[in-house]
Structure 1
Amino acid sequence: MPYEPPTHTVERSLRATTGAKIVAGVDEVGRGAWAGPVTVCAAVTGLRRPPEGLTDSKLLTPKRRNALAAELEGWVTAYALGDASPQEIDELGMTAALRLAAVRALEGLPVRPDAVILDGKHDYLGRPWQVRTVIKGDQSCIAVAAASVIAKVRRDALMAELEAEGDRYAAYAFGANAGYPSPVHKAALEELGPTPYHRLSWSYLDALPQWRHLKKVRLSAEAAALESGGQLGFDF
């Protein structure tokens, strides 16, 4: 399906309206997975022309995505990755875990950005960062698209490494499903139960009576936010 290539329009707007000189694009991968971390990439690209075919990582074939990620890692001005572990997701909830991973990525950059373009409509980053949220930013903004591709390839590689750790983990096919729901993944969970890489506060355990006792009750970070008038976090 034809698509419009991403541009620097939002970045130029931030530079013009806020005086920002360094703008980072931020995107995440792994939010909806049953296993593995949520991974965030922060990428700074400047205003240069991007590699051919850059777009949202989900619109690329695995072969093209891997090749493009290798090209992007040498093309971007700077990039850094941050993870939040399954245990941190269980303890904090997804909204707070996303922020933790994003802050780790942003603080991993060699220079602190003056502004951040965040994919989506929810600002899970907040102060003190100056954030511009952009729905489908991974398709429309060059820096966010670059972050999307790098994050996806890096997390997929990590999940494939987890599968290779032992025979037991091979049954979950992390290399194929990256920890996301799939028939093979579900069958392995039913037979073997969750691994240390699984999120134990998630609702998939409700459908597994023999393993339901392992489910963790999430700590009340999101409930506390609700009580204090903040926005309730979200899971997918």
Structure 2
Amino acid sequence: MSQQMPPEQPGQMPVSPQAPQQYAQQPAPPQVPAPEKKRSWFARHKVLTGLGGALVLIIIISVAASGGKGGSDEADAATTKTSETSTQDSAKTAEEPKKEDSKPAEKSKPGLGTAVKSGDFEFTAVSIEEIGATVGNQFMSETAQGRYVRVNVKVANVGDKPKYFFTNDLTIVDQKGRSFNADTTATLYDQSNADTFVAEINPGNAIEGGVVFDLPADVVATTLKVSGGGFSGSEEISLAG
């Protein structure tokens, strides 16, 4: 049975049958914007970058300029210091002889016949003499190990109290600086004066006599050291000449 088409209306265009849609239209995927490229710090801060570069350039120029000048100043300072040191050394060298020239001469020692005070005693070396190898008499005598030398002295008490004098208050010093004590036994046996063996001297009084020393053959007696005892120290008397 055939399908009848509806009659066409006058003035109406014929309508053709539409074909059925086979596929539904798919929506377009959303557009994702591309990530923005991150700029560097220097690109984002052009002004600061420019100022920093200018500052670095100024510093480099300043250092270069001051470096050359500083080196010159240091060299000049080193030259000046060396010159000053040389001048000072020359002046010091020139002054040294003057110091030696201005050094006071050594004080000369008092000699024979000159009174020397030590403590409460005043000593005077009157003379010095060789007296051989034996002292004493046929009953009491003493023989020297070397040779006997007698120093004749005067000892006065200039203090205000009695005081004892002993032979060991005197010491002889030779040309080599060696010291020799008095021989007490030989002094006792010596016929010159036994008072100088040991004696108590009152204030204002004095004794005089010989003190005997046993000295080696090669010794030259140059100095007599005298002491007033206690903390008085000692004084020196020249025996030369």
Q: Scaled by the length of structure 1, what TM-score is found? A: 0.22
Answer 1 or 2: higher relative contact order, Cα 8 Å, separation at least 6: 1
Q: Give 1 or 2 for the bigger CA radius of gyration.
A: 2
Q: Which structure dedicates a bigger proportion of its chain to helix? A: 1
Q: Scaled by the length of structure 2, what TM-score is found? A: 0.22
